[in-house]
Amino acid sequence: MPHDERRLTDRMLAKWSAIADGIRMPRAAEIKPEAFGDDWKHCALIELDPVLWRSRLACVGETLRNRDRTQGTPQVLNDYNEGSLIRLTAARIPSVIVKRCPIVFGGAAPHGAKTMLYRAILLPVSEDNDRVDHVLGAINFRDISAAPDDAPVETSVLAAATGSDAPFMALTGGRIVYPTPRK
């Protein structure tokens, strides 16, 4: 019996795995918006730079676009506000590079004047199936600002990023440190 998956992260993982044939990481040219259908509006394909915050967003879905920029202008991660969901999610990119596999995470985070509950997935992309040179990310979120005051929701970015790569990023000065290639 077919299973109708409701979670964006699970649908993205299934589509990424299909492109990868289960034996490699997909190449950036294989990541096509039409393959992801309506989910693409929650996606961003990030071309990695050795300095993480200079990484370029090659494609950005409509729900994640930086409203301060025109649609055709290439954006870098640094163009997004520090508290944005794109930046919060991008802080986990070093884990994807080191692990060379998808990661799923979520939590609550301030987003402008609102508090968002989010779930995200980061998927590695590689031209040579060795060095991660792009990351495909998908972020699903909803506003929980109107939640009752006694609701058990953590709104601190630091607490929401527990287990994140914030210490790693501080130690490397925001630079991506690539692991030694496997032999």
Architecture of domain 8-106+120-138: 2-Layer Sandwich (3.30)
Q: Which two tokens stand for residue 164?
A: 């994140």
Strand (E) or helix (H) holding 11:
helix 8-20
Q: What are the pLDDT tens digits along the chain (183 aa)?
A: 344 568 999 999 999 999 998 778 999 999 999 999 999 999 999 999 999 999 999 998 988 886 655 555 568 999 888 778 888 899 999 999 999 999 999 998 877 678 889 999 999 999 999 999 999 999 999 999 875 555 544 433 333 444 444 444 444 555 555 555 444
The pTM for the full model equals 0.77
Domain boundary assignment for the chain: 8-106+120-138
